[in-house]
Amino acid sequence: MVKLILDIRTIYFIGCLLYVILPVITWLVLKADRSMAVRAWCGGSFIFGLGWIFLTLLRGIVPDVFSFTVANVLIFSSFLIRTQSLRLNFQTPAHWRLSAIASVLFGVIFHALWRLDDSGDFRVIFSTTGNTMTVVLFAWVAWRLGRRHDSFAARGIAAIYGILGVVGLWRLALLTVGQTTQSLLNATTDVYFLSVGMILGAVVGHLGFLGIVVENSTRRRVETAAQLAREEESRRLAIQLAQFDRQRGIAELSSSLAHELTQPLTAILSNAQTAKRGIRGDRLDKGQLTDLLARIEFNSRRANDIVKRIRSFIRPQTVDRKQVDLGRIVQETIDLIGRESLPAKVTVSVEKPKDPVWVQGDAIQLSQIVVNLFRNALDAVMNNSKASRRDISLDVGLRLDRAILTVRDNGPGFTREAMEQTGTPFFSTKENGLGMGLAISRAIAEQHGGRMSFHNGVDRGAVFEISLPVLDLASGGTS
């Protein structure tokens, strides 16, 4: 025996008081985070204190079943509950059913030994073994989680309860060889160290748990900030890639530009020459001259509009999201680039509702989606030598609260490999393709709160679908 500065009951009283008060304080401190992990920790700690109160302070005051069976089951269960709390804190699956089964079995066996073992030797060895094993399990899980997630607080909990587990094993060895007493109220050296370890475990354990919560909260904030930074970088990169893709298409648009401008410029030249000859020969009256000038003005505006449309398509600009008609964007984009399909004798059709399909977005970026999907479909039908016809259809419609753009072709469709990788950066089925067009389209759709999906058609070909939130004009937001 050792000479104690404090009476063993006083030490137990301090320990029990800490295990009752500290869970309440922890619960109040973490009022903003009443997660299952917090509830399990505070509840497990509280019932541990309750078990020690029954086991030590109230022995002889309450019925023996509380001081023995109930007390030991509470202590045994408390460590299993707090073990699951640590698992939950680190996003690891908890084993509630296994813990409940273990607690019930422990209680049944202990109660049977308490009733049948008159000497109490087997009962005490069994309870000490069971409770010590749960302490060791608790310390081991805390250490493993601490190393895996680099948590100093979890390793601190593991250290203090690891020491408590060693003390428990020491007491178990002494009990086995008969070198210590059964009662925890006798101030033997092992009991003294056990009681002091309980006090240290209460303080360090709760401080460590608070530390874990703070670490996890800080880690989540850092991860959220990093995710936002990645999304912003992805958005910026997608815009730059989209711009690069538009500029790469300047050469392809040159023939369309020449054809588009030829008609209005030819009309301007013809009307100007007619007016010039008429004025020289004094053969035009005022009305005829006004009509020729009106035609020149009309075709000049038409040519200017064509130049503006192409310039806005290829020039860099900031994102300008506003109310736009998806059907109109599709139609105007196909009007601009649809002539690319003429040499290949591809039939292109656009179907859209009579009423506008309003979405909140950047018209240039949305037109880039149309360009990418159209060119992807055009490449697909060009590679389908078996088809008697080459068709591409673009349909704009509504589905519940979503605006839907569907692009269909009668090309060869997707292979299994293409189904898995289409839409990922740098994957292309074309020999000289960069593999960025569909990835850019997906990124733009997601930036607009939408998504891109694709599948093989019922008969043949591929089907791409862009889904965007419909603009709710009544509330001024998207639905």
* pLDDT, tens only, 93-113: 999 999 999 999 999 999 999
Q: How far is CA 329 from the centre of its chain?
A: 31
pLDDT (0 to 100) of residue 2: 44
Beta strands (DSSP E) in 311-390 are 321-325, 347-351, 358-362
374 or 234: whose pLDDT is higher? 374
**Cα 73 to Cα 80, 176, 247, 267, 277, distances in angstroms:** 11, 22, 73, 97, 112
Name the residue among 70, 79, 65 with its Cα closest to residue 51: 70
Inform me whether the pLDDT recorded for 351 exceeds 90: yes
Handedness of CA 325, 330, 333, 334 (dihedral sign): negative
Where residue 60 falls (left for φ over 0; alpha for ψ -120 to 50; beta otherwise) is left
Q: Beta 347-351 vs 402-409: how paired, if at all?
A: unpaired
Confidence band for 246, pLDDT divided at 50, 70 and 90: low
Query: What pLDDT is attached to residue 243?
Result: 61
Query: Order of strands across the sheet with 347-351?
Result: 347-351, 391-399, 402-409, 462-469, 451-456
Lowest pLDDT segment from 60-74, 191-205, 231-245: 231-245
pLDDT-based confidence at 381, cuts 50/70/90?
confident
* pLDDT reported for residue 259: 54
Over range 424-441, report the average pLDDT.
Answer: 55
Across residues 282-300, what is the average pLDDT?
79
Tens-digit pLDDT profile for residues 111-132: 999 888 788 888 899 999 999 9
What mean pLDDT is predicted for residues 267-271? 79
pLDDT at 440 over 80: no
Structure token pair of residue 4: 């104690």
Torsion of CA 364, 369, 372, 376, to 10 degrees: -160
